[in-house]
Amino acid sequence: MDAIHPKLKLLALWLFILLNVIFRDIHQFTMKSHLEMLLTGYYNGMEVTETLMLIGGIVLEIPIAMVLFSLLLKRKINRSVNLVAVVISAGLFLVEPPSDLDDWFFKIVEFIGFIAILWTIRNWKTDEEAPALLPG
């Protein structure tokens, strides 16, 4: 089996996390209680404001940006940026504790992705050790 370049691994792992976040949110929207709560203008007792929506957008932009940055940045800066992004993303995802079993499932899967990113950047020693980015 051919080794996968760390940049491609990181890109795939950020996509994996992002898709889990998106589908966790979509899954929540299928619940009547969740929709009723959103229609009140409050979410878990907190008023949904434009500022809160902006903060949520910024938080979600981190994994989105990391898909691109993981591929484009050089190893040294890539490792640092990925580390910071994992710490911020994982920390912010913990702000909202899981509310039900499916929430627990998705959060656990997302954290496995974060751990895999940390493992990948820890073991990415040099660009010379990495296989070619694209086979051929």
The full set of domain ranges for the chain reads 6-123
Burial class (CB in 10 A: 0-12, 13-18, 19+), 111: middle
Mean pLDDT for the chain overall: 88
pTM of the model: 0.85
The pLDDT of residue 1:
39
Tell me the percentage of the chain whose pLDDT exceeds 70: 92
8 compared with 3, residue with greater pLDDT: 8
